[in-house]
Structure 1
């Protein structure tokens, strides 16, 4: 492995559901039980709602290492859930309609968020996938952020996994993306002229109370507050670990390519980018996606192929090129998480069948 290859890490959020597929209040218990038995690298964490659990890899250098950790962490959480009569659900939004939202995790920060943001926090029933990619420093990170943001719609298609929500077909591949956008700090980041501009927006949010702390900077890609990384927050939790790793290696390839590029970040208004993200969230990996260079609609597979071509030197240096090509081809041929959700739902119009599919009990 080339020592200059960028390190990366992946965080995944999950729902913990009961035997019928409805959200439970058991997320904390499942995380605590799985932590006691965890036998792979990585970390398990509590989340905003008691219906959720989170897993995070250690710092990784290879896609094989990340895949092994994600698979093991999911297995540990699923076993702990099963032992208590629950199931681990990798879905961007809850497939079943819920009479009442789950309780907020009894953590002082989460409780403060719930009081301040009201229904936005209490009804924030989404699970995402976050990818951290190493950067040299924050100033460089701002330049990289500007170069990667046009590709956010393509990345969103890879793990789109929330077509069925609240008991019906939403018409979107990633309904989670729209639900998450209700937070005042969510959505695509602007093209920043400098780190000072980035910080001035964050300061304005803090002064207005639009965020309570810097951990609530929810842009689709942001400077991480805890690690020297650029953090991609665009994605639904993937239906499978392999799809999460595909998104991660594409993000790493983009960052590495951007670091080697001296050109100024492309001009792209947030209004236009928001429209492109809407289209990508609607259609997913088997539909059409606006091309970052032209804005014209193309099959998402063609846009992803162009992304792989653009980042091929970085992907090859990291040992990811064959994996990225094969995984993308498989997604296009078999469909992503959203497509599989729709196929399961279409047979009997039962969201319970979607839960069974995603929890491995179909």
Structure 2
């Protein structure tokens, strides 16, 4: 395992009250959470969100354990305040009011500068960091992984029910997040200097206030020597988040030493991402090579075949095979949200199903 790339996973969650509405109490929950020793608990843009970040992981078992431990720690802390932690990428129940912005200078400045874009954003993503040796290599890797972004979005699409209705999208979060000027797929860069030129131009235009606001679906991390996949919804379960994580890791490992990235325009890629956000893992997705629409599970099968040596070297082959089989059988988070919602058209039922348990038990797919 010495040559296996390391990775880490960040998850964003909603803090909700007993009626499923976002509650402006994330700080209190974070302050009272037990120190799990598994990673870090962090504040987010709004007071109704909490974030977890694993430490550096080598195996999928490490990642699952850390994610599950931190989820449970947050859920127990929330329960002590009469609240719950929700693993949904958009709020199933209408917030009823604008989300309050976390009172840090950076977040307050963002709210003042970006107005309603910041003040109405209440979405939760899952971010995967994969180690790369240097920024130039990382920039080249970005170009190679771009065509696979729709398939990665489909894996965790988990925001079908939002504001009390079926949005008719599997990842409504992806649609909402697109309002930020720096969001969406990155272009194909000629070099790391090309990458830096775009970031500098955004800073000078005021389209971002700092480098942390580069919100591309995959980017170079500002804090770690990694590339960071940001395309995905927060996953319904820790196992599904880890499935995303090891797929991202295998993809990076597979293309790490590849030559020139393929040519794929951002206009075409945006269209493919739209389709993935619409249909999720049980719908159709564009084949990265041909652009033909195929069942998303078939595109994911092609991804595992493309990355088979890397998955094998990391000991992830069986974990990925079983995870994708469960998604094909049970549907993704969005499909399970819809099944729960369809029973009574109750968004609160979705909250009840997707709230993180405060005990050790893990919810079964609906």
Candidates 141, 149, 155, aligned match of 2:152: 155
User: Counterpart in 2 of 1:128?
Assistant: 125
Whole-angstrom distance in 1 between the partners of 2:166 and 2:288: 28
User: Counterpart in 1 of 2:352?
Assistant: 356
Q: 1:260: Cα distance to partner?
A: 3.2
1:323 and 2:319 matched: yes
Asked if structure 1 preserves the Cα contact closer than 8 Å seen for 2:250 and 2:310, the reply is yes
Computed over aligned residues only, the root mean square deviation of the Cα atoms, in angstroms, reads: 0.9
1:21 and 2:20 matched: yes
Q: 1:38: Cα distance to partner?
A: 1.9
Whole-angstrom distance in 2 between the partners of 1:196 and 1:43: 32
1:91 and 2:88 matched: yes
TM-score by length of structure 2 reads: 0.97
Whole-angstrom distance in 2 between the partners of 1:350 and 1:304: 32
Q: 1:98: Cα distance to partner?
A: 2.1
Q: C-alpha deviations, 1:118-177, integer Å up to 9, x for none?
A: 110011100000000000000000111100010000000000000000110001000000
Whole-angstrom distance in 2 between the partners of 1:74 and 1:360: 7
Q: 1:39: Cα distance to partner?
A: 2.3
User: Counterpart in 1 of 2:107?
Assistant: 110
User: Counterpart in 1 of 2:276?
Assistant: 280
Aligned residues: 358
Whole-angstrom distance in 2 between the partners of 1:94 and 1:195: 37
1:313 and 2:309 matched: yes
The residue matched to 1:16 in structure 2 has which SS? strand
Whole-angstrom distance in 2 between the partners of 1:24 and 1:360: 15
1:267 and 2:266 matched: no
Whole-angstrom distance in 2 between the partners of 1:258 and 1:184: 28
Whole-angstrom distance in 2 between the partners of 1:8 and 1:101: 35
Q: 1:224: Cα distance to partner?
A: 0.2
The residue matched to 1:126 in structure 2 has which SS? coil
Asked if structure 1 preserves the Cα contact closer than 8 Å seen for 2:75 and 2:356, the reply is no
Stretches of structure 1 that go unaligned for 5 or more consecutive residues are: none
Asked if structure 1 preserves the Cα contact closer than 8 Å seen for 2:71 and 2:356, the reply is no
Q: 1:101: Cα distance to partner?
A: 1.4
1:56 and 2:37 matched: no
The residue matched to 1:178 in structure 2 has which SS? helix
Q: 1:102: Cα distance to partner?
A: 2.0
1:72 and 2:69 matched: yes
Whole-angstrom distance in 2 between the partners of 1:71 and 1:304: 25
TM-score by length of structure 1 reads: 0.98
Whole-angstrom distance in 2 between the partners of 1:216 and 1:223: 12
Candidates 315, 332, 336, aligned match of 2:328: 332
1:119 and 2:154 matched: no
1:342 and 2:338 matched: yes
User: Counterpart in 1 of 2:360?
Assistant: none
1:300 and 2:299 matched: no
